[in-house]
Structure 1
């Protein structure tokens, strides 16, 4: 298992300082996020430009926030900057985000993801001459298309939570990205069989899929503060009803409802209290040594563990300090 770091700083200048330090320390991979105030692809290009050895990836880029052509062109550009070190992580995002944030309709998420990934691959591979794609959901027609100097492929990882999306990841992507609060039991007992079903449907070898997951990770000499930060993030991410699949059998239903109510009231302490019940199962936290020990439970379940610094209710200075501590964990991992 290799250990990567999701770089969370809101200020991109701060993020690049973390990237440089992590690359010098030998961290396996460095990942950008996409949010209403951050562009995963812009940041990935910057990460690639200031690093030399680490893989650079997006975890994750919303598939429907950009047109297929714009997304494929950006991915090819980042791959060229990275010299082949770039991995495109994509996800559908929620219906609400697609409709309210991006103005994109999302009626059949899993088939739409499959169609969009196929189109991006074809756009990347096309070298010259007219291009046309008529899929179930996407259509692109170009009378003239030249991209002979840019890379013709990018590894694509697909995120998923529900059964249909996880199957699609196994069917058409190069790998899978587990949700930030996916437990080891979910990844092993729920996601892995679904990936195998998807791979069989696509006539692929499931063993060739790269299995990754984000993991809420808080490392500090102050173990109580690290636990509090991790619990805040776990509580916050447990609130969407669309993530019910991460909690089979209604697990933590009361805590999730309490966290949902606390988020609505902007009651951070309430979110922390709700997250406390889930944090030991859904995060790693404590001293750097504690975090490293807790990461062992993911061995044999994922190939890449992506450490995700908590940011909900956490001061930016503490987010930054945590990233530096997580660099220590990732760079010393054996």
Structure 2
């Protein structure tokens, strides 16, 4: 099983430094999220800052994990992906996700109508633009009609892999049907993979019409490593609290018996509490259920629980509501763990 990392940095230089450390530790892919930074700009910095190690050539992958699918035109997404694949010398993976309704409508001023067919159209348009040709035409909820245009630069490789994020069964199945891989939500325990994700992926893969060279299942986990398990849990609790306050994840937490915690987190958010400082509402059992938190030995065992269920696991340090020095410390412990496995 491949160990991937979602690096953190207070500055872009710090982020690149963390990616280089992940590369030296043997990580397979470094992923750039999209929340406080642009995923494509971050991925550009990671691509430029990695790829070579003393005494050899490193092929660490670069991915967007994830870029928002609807906040840009599908054509601009395709062009950015092609540029990044060139910049990274064929190491790029385009990870896309829908985000939630409020983020699209209130933050970016774009429609969230029928996100599943809209994402299907996005993938089709990106593939059509990357394939080239004239005209480029696609009709759907997202449409494109391009005539008299050809990208004058040769592609680095004939196929650039596209990954889709998804939580609900229909969106997960779409990834199996049209993408090259699936990326998990940051809180995705092995039981979730086994009981909900793998069956949905299989249903999508069964509907696949285009040939596939292989499908990459990327699990994900916030990984908080410390000699003191209580400290590790405390650092990870704010991550769980943030998502517990978001309505879109209520079913996932409710199925695990934490509906009352979600209700308390949502009420605290409405009362003015910062979304990334709700960790005091999260019991240890909930942290243990949805993150990997504990001593290095304990975390190593927990990571291995994903083996056989996923091709890779994307590990991220706890960062929500923590001072920068503490996040850096937590990230260093995580990278030490990756290097030891």
TM-score by length of 2: 0.90
Report the equivalent of 1:290.
298
Q: Higher mean Cα deviation, 195-204 or 90-99?
A: 195-204
Report the equivalent of 2:81.
75
1:321 pairs with 2:329: yes
Q: 1:214 to 1:140 in 2, by over 3 A?
A: farther
Report the equivalent of 1:180.
186
Matches of 2:25 and 2:294, distance apart in 1: 21
Give 1:98 deviation, angstroms: 0.8
Q: 1:206 to 1:226 in 2, by over 3 A?
A: farther
Contact 1:131 1:143 in 2 (8 A): no
Matches of 1:95 and 1:270, distance apart in 2: 22
Q: 1:25 to 1:274 in 2, by over 3 A?
A: closer
Give 1:122 deviation, angstroms: 1.0
Matches of 2:309 and 2:212, distance apart in 1: 13
Give 1:248 deviation, angstroms: 5.8
Aligned match of 1:132 in 137, 150, 156? Answer: 137
Report the equivalent of 2:151.
146
Report the equivalent of 2:127.
121
- Partner SS for 2:333: helix
Report the equivalent of 1:2.
2
Give 1:176 deviation, angstroms: 0.9
Give 1:310 deviation, angstroms: 1.6
| Aligned ranges 1:54-93 → 2 under 5 Å | 54-93=60-99
Instruction: Show structure 2 runs of 5+ residues with no match.
Output: 52-57
Contact 1:219 1:287 in 2 (8 A): yes
- Partner SS for 1:215: strand
Report the equivalent of 1:159.
165
1:38 pairs with 2:46: no
**How many pairs does the alignment contain?**
331
- Partner SS for 2:305: helix
TM-score by length of 1: 0.92
RMSD value, Cα: 2.1
